[in-house]
Amino acid sequence: MLSSFCAVKPRFAPMMLLGAVLLNTAYGAADAAESAASKVSQSAPETAPTQFNNPIIKSDSKDPTSQQGPLIYTADPAALVHDGTLYLYTTHDEQTAQGKDYRMYDYRLWSSRDLQTWQNHGAVLRYSDFAWARGDAKTGNAYAHHVIARKDQSGNSKFYFYAAVEGGQTGGAFGFSIGVAVGDSPFGPFTDPRGMPLILLEDTAKDKNHSWRNIDPAVFIDDDGRAYLYWGNQQLWWAELEADLVHLKGEKYQLDAKGRMQNRDSSAVHIHKVDRLPNFEEGPHLSKHNGVYYLVYAAGFPESLAYATSTSASGPWQYRGIIMDPLPGTTTIHPALFDFNGQTYLAYHNADLPGGGNYRRSVALDQVFFNPDGSIRPIIRSRKP
């Protein structure tokens, strides 16, 4: 969601960066709907749409697609399909038309049972819900994120919200971290069970030195139950998660009297680099379709959408090409590839709303089509049918 600082030019100011990712999994669909989820209609359509009234999020109103209201700028979509509903989590661009930096304080949730009619659930998480995160009147640092669901040992669904925010570094250094918050419902509330970041600057310091390298988290749970965290700017990393989804595999720590982590030891954690993706910039998203693993990511700057495939969630990855060229009005793209009602879709952001631009983006959806060999056809962007 953010790109290289070298293109900072308008991309960054001292307190700026952008993170984002997204990742959807069908693992852990609940058998019983949570009480909050009962607000969403329970009748799913027999067929899914092929064209969209893009951007699908236009106004901060009850019906954000079709109902008039104050414009709202959203970006970095994260798609969670759960119990027949698509929960679409977005960042929230609050910059003025003349602004030259990102102003992002909260994460918004939108839901749909048919991908045409949407409900606005407002903000479900703020950067300040992480006690260690930093922000001010200029920037709230609520950058790209990802949400997944999984059942706990009691059979209850838990929802895991991974977010890139600034703060939490050893010694108070400036830099972006990845945190995780957990809730009992897709609507939250989400709370930080660690009391500290999941990914810190020190975890990737041997590979890169820019302070915004740890952004754009994306989590994937494979068929065997193993969970993987992908992330990065200008470098792609991945690590396996513990079964609780809030610790890295091999991470050691102690707890204080309030249950917060301390004395973290990551020496046994294996963080992997992926170096063979052409022009990798940021925004990785991992999903599985028809038995093939797809890694979609933002490539180059201005960003296009590229992808690679593999027979494993851990690679190796075969580069397959570009599926979307850079978009007018914005230098970034952030993908989320997901299946819904028998079809595959891509969520991303553009700058198509009135007054849109690099710091005032808008979330859109389009259908994804595969060739017989599993390759993805170039995405055809749609507007109002």
pLDDT in tens, the chain (385 residues): 554 433 333 344 333 333 333 333 333 333 333 434 434 434 444 567 889 999 999 999 999 999 999 999 999 999 999 999 999 999 999 999 999 999 999 999 999 999 999 999 999 999 999 999 999 988 888 999 999 999 998 999 999 999 999 999 999 999 999 999 999 999 999 999 999 999 999 999 999 999 999 999 999 999 999 999 999 999 999 999 999 999 999 999 999 998 899 999 999 999 999 999 999 999 999 999 999 999 999 999 999 999 999 999 999 999 999 999 999 999 999 999 999 999 999 999 999 999 999 999 999 999 999 999 999 999 999 986 5
Residue 303 near residue 322, CB atoms below 8 Å:
no
Integer Cα distance of 14 and 23 in angstroms: 28
- Residues of 41-73 as b/e, b for ≥16 C-beta within 10 angstroms? eeeeeeebbeebbbbbbbbbeeebbeeeeeebb
Rounded Cα distance, 195 and 130, in Å = 8
